[in-house]
Structure 1
Amino acid sequence: MGLAPRPWLREPPTLPILALTVESAANSDSQYSLSRLLPPGSQLHNLIFPERVTTPTPTLPPLASYTSHPGSSLGMNVEDGGVPGLGRPRKARWTLMLLLSTAMYGAHAPLLALCHVDGRVPFRPSSAVLLTELTKLLLCALSLLVGWQAWPQGTPPWRQAAPFALSALLYGANNNLVIYLQRYMDPSTYQVLSNLKIGSTALFYCLCLRHRLSARQGLALLLLMAAGACYAAGGLQDPGTTLPGPPSAAATSPMPLHITPLGLLLLILYCLISGLSSVYTELLMKRQRLPLALQNLFLYSFGVLLNLGLHAGGGPGPGLLEGFSGWAALVVLSQALNGLLMSAVMKHGSSITRLFVVSCSLVVNAVLSAALLRLQLTAAFFLATLLIGLAVRLYYGSR
C-alpha cells in the first residue's frame, strides 16, 4: 500500500494558513526569515507584509505665531503695520468694525449721563453689567443656532471652556476694583493714572505672547499713555454759564486731588489685572481652534454666573430692571455689541489694537459730550487728539 498523496506539498497554502504562518512567525521573531522566502514586490509578499503608512502627528505653531494669527473666518491680521495681505473687501470690513467699536466706546459715558435722574444713575450698576453679559450670551447662542458660525463637528469641546472661567474672574475683579478705587482717590487722579494699564498690557503682551515691540512701537504706546493722561487732566470743562440752574455741588465744592497709599496699590493692581485679562483672553482665543461664537459662549456663560452672584450678594436695592429707560437699554445693547466686536479684535487682531481703539474713543467721547452735554473742548483735548494720531502713525504706519 503506497503513501497517500500530500497536496499541501504541491499547492500553495491558502490565506487562512498564511495568516497563521505570519502570526506564528511574528510571535517567534522570525518574520524577517519568512519575508526573505517571498520575492519583494510580488502580490503574495504585499498581501502578507503590507507597507505601514505613518501619519505625522500634527503640531501647533509656535506661541509667537499666535500674535499674527490670520483668523479662521475673516483672515484678518492687523499687527505690524495695519492689515498686510488682506483684500479690499476684508480690509474695509475690518476698518468698519474698528470704527464701530471706537464709536461705541466713546458713546458709553455720554449715554450714561443721559440716563441720570436728579444727578444720579437710577438703576444698579450691577444690573447693567449683568444684562450686558446676558445679552452677549444670547447673541452668541443665536449666531450658533441660526448657522452664522459653524458648530464644531463631533462632541462639543466642553473641556476647553474651563480656561475662560479665569478670564471672567479677571474681568469681574477689575469691574469691582473700579468701584472701590473711587473711595481712595478723586476721579481726576483715577482717570489720569488708569492710563498705566496701557503699559501693563504691553508688558504682558511681550511676556505671554513672546512678541517684541520695536522702539518705534514702544514710543507710540508712550504717546498713547500721555494722550490719555492729557485728556483726563482737562480735555473737557463745564462752563457755568451754559447750563441752566444753580451750580452743582461738585462745582461749588470740588474734590481736591488726592490718592492714598492703599489707593495707589489698588490702582497698580487694577492696571496689572487689566493687562493680564486682555492678553490672557487673546491667548485663549487664538490658541483654541474653535469658532469665535463658541468661545464667546464659554466666556459669557461664566460672566453671567459671576455677575449674577455679585448682583445677588450686593444687598437690598432696586430690582433688576428698576429705573431702566430707553437710554439705559441703549447702553446695554451698545456695550453688548461692542463686547462682541472686541472679542473679534482679540481673536483676529491683538490686545494692542484694542488699546488703540479705546484711546481713539476719547475723541468720540469728547465730541458727543460737547454736543449732548454742552461741555466745552479745551486745548488739552486737541493736544490729546494730536498725540493719539501721532501714536497711530508710529505704530501702524509704514516702516
Structure 2
Amino acid sequence: MIIFQIIAYGSYSVLVHLCEKNGVITFSSATMNFIIEFMKLLFSLNAFICLEQIHLNKIQFLSWFKQSIFYSIPAILYFINNNLAVHIQIYMDPTSYQILSNFKILTTAILYRLIMKKRLIKQQWFALILLFFGGLTYSLGTYKNSSFISKTMTNSTITMQEMYIHPLGIPMIVIYCTLSGLAGVYIEWILKRYYSESLHLQNIFLYTYGTFLNLISAISMMITTSKTINNLNLFHGFTFYTWLIVITQVLNGLIMSVIIKYSSNIIRLFVISFSLIITAFLSFFIFHINFNIYFFISFVTIICAFSLYYTKSITSNV
C-alpha cells in the first residue's frame, strides 16, 4: 500500500502537466475532485452498508448529522487544497512542486504540537529548521534562474528544459502546505477522538461534504465558462491522464484514511518525502528536465531532515 501511495503522490503533478494544453489545465479541477470525492463516498457507503449492522431511525440520523458537522471543517480545507494543488502546477514544474510540498512536514509538525499536544525534541526542531532552509534555498535559487518560458510544445507533448518557479507559485505552495498540514492533523484528531466509530461512517461524513462542495463549484464553473446551454459539459477537457489521476487519488485517499486512523500522519509525510524520487524520475524521462544544483542540494537536505526528524536521538532513548 505504501509503495502505491508513493507512486500516486509522485505521479500526480506529472499527470496534471500532461493534461496541459498551451499552458492551461484543460479540465475543471472542481469536476475532477467532485468525481474523486463521489467515488470515495460510494465505496464508503457500500462498505458501511455491507459490513456494519445498521438500525435506521430518526434518532440515528439526527445523531449522525450532529457528528458529521465536525467533518465539515477538514472537508472545506481539503476542498480548497485539492483544487489549489491542480492550479499550482501551472506555476512550477512537477519536481519543484514535489520538493516544495515537503514544507508539509514543517506545517504538520508545528500543528501536531499545537493541536495534538505532541512535544518535539531539539533534534526534531533542528530537522524542521534544516528542511525550511533547504526549501528556501531551492525556491530562491530556482526562482532566480527561472526564465518563465520553460515549456515548449513538441508534437502535443510538453517539454521542460529547465526547472522553474513562477513568482505566484511560492505563496500558493505556502498556502497549500499550511492548509494540508492543518487538514491532516485535524482529521487525525477527529478520527482518533471517535476511535470506536466505524471508519467507513467517518469517511461518509467527510466525503459527503467534499462531494457537495466540489459539485457546487463544478456546476458554477461550468455555467460560467460555457457560452451556451448546448456547450454545458461537466467533463470538458478530460483525458486519459485525468481519469488516471481520478483512479489513483481515489485509492490513495481511501488507503490514507486507514493509515491516519490506525497509525498517524507520520506515514503520510514519509510517502510525500519519498514520492520526490518518482516525480524526478518521471520528469526526467517524460519532460526531459535538466535538474539544477539546487535540486540536488534540496534533495540531500530533505533526506537528512527526514532522517533527523524520525530517528530519535540517543539521549532521548536513555
Q: Tell me if TM exceeds 0.5.
A: yes
Residue pair 1:201, 1:352 contacting (<8 A) in 2 also: no
Q: Which runs of 5+ in 2 are unaligned?
A: 227-231
Residue 73 (structure 2) aligns with: 166
Of residues 380, 386, 389, the one that matches 2:303 is 389
Residue 122 (structure 1) aligns with: 26
Equivalent residues in 2 for 1:243-322, closer than 5 Å: 244=154, 258=167, 271-288=177-194, 289-314=196-221, 315-317=224-226, 319-322=233-236
> Counterparts of 2:133 and 2:274 in 1: how far apart (Å)?
13
Match of 1:324, SS? coil
Q: Deviations over 1:98-149 (max 9, x none)?
A: 22212100001112222334554322222111111111112222322443xx
Equivalent residues in 2 for 1:104-253, closer than 5 Å: 104-147=8-51, 150-151=52-53, 155=60, 157-158=63-64, 159-175=66-82, 187=92, 196-229=103-136, 234=142, 244=154
Match of 1:376, SS? coil
Q: Which AA in structure 2 matches 1:132?
A: I
Residue 283 (structure 2) aligns with: 369
Match of 2:283, SS? helix
Of residues 247, 257, 273, the one that matches 1:359 is 273
Number of corresponding residues: 291
- Richer in helix (by share): 2
Match of 2:225, SS? coil
Residue pair 1:101, 1:357 contacting (<8 A) in 2 also: yes
Q: Using a 3 Å threshold, how does the CA distance of structure 1 residues 198 and 392 change in structure 2: closer, same or farther?
A: closer
Residue 324 (structure 1) aligns with: 238
Q: Alpha-carbon deviation of 1:162? A: 1.7
Q: Using a 3 Å threshold, how does the CA distance of structure 1 residues 335 and 237 change in structure 2: closer, same or farther?
A: farther
> Counterparts of 1:339 and 1:308 in 2: how far apart (Å)?
18
Q: Alpha-carbon deviation of 1:279? A: 1.2
Q: Using a 3 Å threshold, how does the CA distance of structure 1 residues 377 and 256 change in structure 2: closer, same or farther?
A: closer
Match of 2:9, SS? helix
Q: Alpha-carbon deviation of 1:369? A: 1.2
Q: Deviations over 1:179-216 (max 9, x none)?
A: 88899xx648x958776544332222111111001112
Q: Deviations over 1:324-357 (max 9, x none)?
A: 2222111111111111122223212323432332
> Counterparts of 1:210 and 1:321 in 2: how far apart (Å)?
44
Residue pair 1:195, 1:229 contacting (<8 A) in 2 also: no
> Counterparts of 2:191 and 2:233 in 1: how far apart (Å)?
35
> Counterparts of 2:165 and 2:192 in 1: how far apart (Å)?
45
Residue pair 2:146, 2:165 contacting (<8 A) in 1 also: no
Q: Using a 3 Å threshold, how does the CA distance of structure 1 residues 230 and 371 change in structure 2: closer, same or farther?
A: farther
TM-score, scaled relative to structure 2? 0.74
Q: Deviations over 1:3-50 (max 9, x none)?
A: xxxxxxxxxxxxxxxxxxxxxxxxxxxxxxxxxxxxxxxxxxxxxxxx
Q: Using a 3 Å threshold, how does the CA distance of structure 1 residues 391 and 349 change in structure 2: closer, same or farther?
A: farther
TM-score, scaled relative to structure 1? 0.61
Q: Using a 3 Å threshold, how does the CA distance of structure 1 residues 350 and 173 change in structure 2: closer, same or farther?
A: same
Q: Using a 3 Å threshold, how does the CA distance of structure 1 residues 177 and 370 change in structure 2: closer, same or farther?
A: closer
Q: Which AA in structure 2 matches 1:275?
A: G
Q: Percent identity?
A: 32
